[in-house]
Amino acid sequence: MLNVTPVPALSDNYVWILQRDNQQQVVIIDPSESKPVLEYLSNNQLTPVAILITHQHYDHTGGVQGILDEYPYISVVGPAIKPSIEPLRIDLPIPKLITFTVGEGDAVFIPGTDYKFEVIAIPGHTLDHLAYLVEGMVFCGDTLFAGGCGRLFSGTAQMMTESLTRLASLPAETMMYCAHEYTVDNLGFAKWVEPDQKDIIERDEAEMVKQEKGEVTLPTTVALELSTNPFLRFQQADVKAAAENYAGKSLTEDWEVFAALREWKDTKFD
């Protein structure tokens, strides 16, 4: 069995640690800082064999160098970063730290383990954004959040709509691991969009209880997101109507509905 442990980092990040049953070898995904990761590894007598990076932003890469200082021979797998991508708070020379660049359709095999990750390109939040699919779980960085999605930095609304649609097309039971604890905040906006939607109201209540207890609200599932996340529900009549009401005009394309929702949340809710 492949076990996934969240290691809290920064103010609201999760670094994901993947471990097969009781094996010592682990894979680290999106280490935003090194100290909590190194403490977790030491306390549990674990040895990292690889780091996977979903995209370039500092809060997904800030811990890479510190981990490599302690474990200099492990592989770092991530996207090829193009010069056209925005220089947004890139605190590390990530292209120099990545030892293997991957992209759409690639498979990642981790030496010393039986892990096989399928690589999916999901641009929108950034142009380089990747997701890693393994054994019914997808690690989707900042593209899809529980109840929401990432902002658009270097990608377009069209890209993000296609990427979210692709994630939504995974099997309903797929476990989705994003990188931030934003669930309750995101569901607040979902209630703006669909104030009478029973599934959203019930989920919001349940997630509020977890948050008050200091519990992690992740992972989520494709099925749960399809029933409660407005950024996956842009084809639903009520969601489209709410987006059109905000935009003050008719919206024909899916990406136009998405763009109106994203602007609404960015400018009026956040």
Give the domain CATH number at 131: 3.60.15.10
Read off the pTM: 0.94
Same domain, 134 and 218: no
Asked if pLDDT for residue 108 goes beyond 70, the answer is yes
> How sure is the predictor about 92, in pLDDT bands with cuts at 50, 70 and 90?
very low
Number of domains in the chain: 2
What the block records as the tokens of 203 is: 């989920």
Q: What is the 3-state secondary structure (H, E, C) of the chain?
A: CEEEEEEEECCCEEEEEEEECCCCEEEEECCCCCHHHHHHHHHCCCEEEEEECCCCCHHHHCCHHHHHHHCCCCEEEEECCCCCCCCCCCCCCHHHHCCEEECCCCEEECCCCCCEEEEEECCCCCCCCEEEEECCEEEEECCEECCEECCCCCCCHHHHHHHHHHHHCCCCCCEEEECECCHHHHHHHHHHHCCCCHHHHHHHHHHHHHHHCCCCCCCEEHHHHHHHCHHHCCCCHHHHHHHHHHHCCCCCCHHHHHHHHHHHHHHHHC
Distance separating alpha carbons of residues 123 and 152, to the nearest angstrom: 9
In this structure, the answer to whether residues 191 and 163 fall within a common structural domain is no
126 and 214 belong to one structural domain: no
Question: Are 235 and 145 part of one and the same domain?
Answer: no
Smallest Cα–Cα separation from 132: which of 170, 158, 95, 159? 170
Domain end position, chosen among 129, 161, 178: 178
Model confidence at 215: pLDDT above 60? yes
Co-location of 157 and 190 in the same domain: no
Final residue of a structural domain among 178, 196, 230 = 178
Q: Do 166 and 189 fall into the same domain?
A: no
Interval 136-143 mean pLDDT: 98
For position 80, what pLDDT does the model report? 81
Encode pLDDT of 1-25 as tens digits: 899 999 999 999 999 999 999 899 9
In contact, 50 and 77? CB cutoff 8 Å: yes
Domain span at residue 104? 2-178
Going by pLDDT thresholds of 50, 70 and 90, the confidence category of residue 111 is confident
91 shares a domain with 45: yes
Does position 243 have pLDDT exceeding 50, yes or no? Answer: yes
pLDDT (0 to 100) of residue 231? 98
Mean pLDDT of 210-232: 97
| Residue 52 shares a structural domain with residue 171 | yes
Q: Summarize pLDDT for 176-194 with one digit per residue, the tens.
A: 999 999 999 999 999 999 9
Residue 96 clears pLDDT 80, i.e. is over it:
no
Which of 140, 159, 178 finishes a domain?
178
Same-domain pairing of 28 and 139: yes
Averaged pLDDT, 25-33: 97
67 lies in the same domain as 32: yes
Residue 91 has a pLDDT of: 44
Claim to verify: residue 53 and residue 171 sit in the same structural domain: yes
| Residue 85: predicted pLDDT | 45
Q: Would you place residue 97 in the very low, low, confident or very high pLDDT band (cuts 50, 70, 90)?
A: confident
Q: Is the pLDDT of residue 225 over 70?
A: yes
Tell me, what's the pLDDT at 178?
98
Mean per-residue pLDDT over the chain, rounded:
94
Same domain as 197, residue 173? no
pLDDT top residue among 148 and 270: 148
pLDDT in tens, 47-85: 999 999 999 899 999 999 999 999 999 999 999 865 444
